[in-house]
Chains A and B, each alone.
Chain A
Amino acid sequence: GDSVTQMEGPVTLSEEAFLTINCTYTATGYPSLFWYVQYPGEGLQLLLKATKADDKGSNKGFEATYRKETTSFHLEKGSVQVSDSAVYFCALSHGSSNTGKLIFGQGTTLQVKP
């Protein structure tokens, strides 16, 4: 079945460091891909998405490119801030699901130190 795999956390970085969180997926057909972020005490919020191959999603300095050839959707940011500390979830939504149910990775905790 469909699945999403993320790199294990926690990831600990210093402020202004470069961030990469790896995400790969397994799915038939052409899923949409998402990154959600969860700040402490809050619900999951959409960070960015891409709905077809080679699309690049971007928001708040984060970006990810839908790579069909490597079935990947890695999250990157050039310079992280302490306020980026959160749990990041990669997810897919399969085209065969009319309701758009999301299949999540296990989440990666990012800690940014000043």
Chain B
Amino acid sequence: EPEVTQTPSHQVTQMGQEVILRCVPISNHLYFYWYRQILGQKVEFLVSFYNNEISEKSEIFDDQFSVERPDGSNFTLKIRSTKLEDSAMYFCASSPLGGRSHEQYFGPGTRLTVT
């Protein structure tokens, strides 16, 4: 069964460093998402991506964040200069269609630790 994959499973980085989190969505899906979950808090929407551009983003997704689909299979989240508060589990998701009633398929997550 097709699944969303994410690498790495755990990333440790120093404050101020750039990190790139990678995701491979399900191949025929059209909508892609990033969410994050700070330890002990809710899963929060960061950004959605469709047709090679951002379709919606949250207040969390500021200029330090960017997303890219560089080669038609990978979907990446870049954090330019990490802060301690960026430490979280980051989930990638994809969906065959957008809209409010369609299932999103999630990857297992990347745990980012900023020291």
Residues of A within 8 A of B (CB): 31-32, 34, 36, 41-46, 49, 51, 89, 91, 93-95, 97-107
* Given A43-B107, A44-B91, A49-B101, A101:B33 Cβ within 8 A: yes
* Given A97-B56, A101-B33, A45:B106 Cβ within 8 A: yes
State whether B48 touches A99 (Cβ < 8 A): yes
Residues of B within 8 A of A (CB): 3-4, 6, 31, 33, 35, 41-45, 48, 50, 55-56, 58, 91, 93, 95, 98-109
Distance, CA A101 to CA B48, complexed state (A): 7
Closest A residue to B4 by beta carbon equals A43
Distance, CA A106 to CA B41, complexed state (A): 6
State whether A32 touches B56 (Cβ < 8 A): no
Contacts of B4 in A (CB 8 A): 43
State whether A99 touches B91 (Cβ < 8 A): no
Distance, CA A89 to CA B107, complexed state (A): 15
Distance, CA A101 to CA B36, complexed state (A): 13
Contacts of A97 in B (CB 8 A): 56, 100
- Return the contact of B99 from the options A42, A100, A103, A104 (Cβ within 8 A): A100
State the Cβ distance, A78 to closest chain B Cβ, in Å. 24
State whether A32 touches B43 (Cβ < 8 A): no
State the Cβ distance, A54 to closest chain B Cβ, in Å. 15
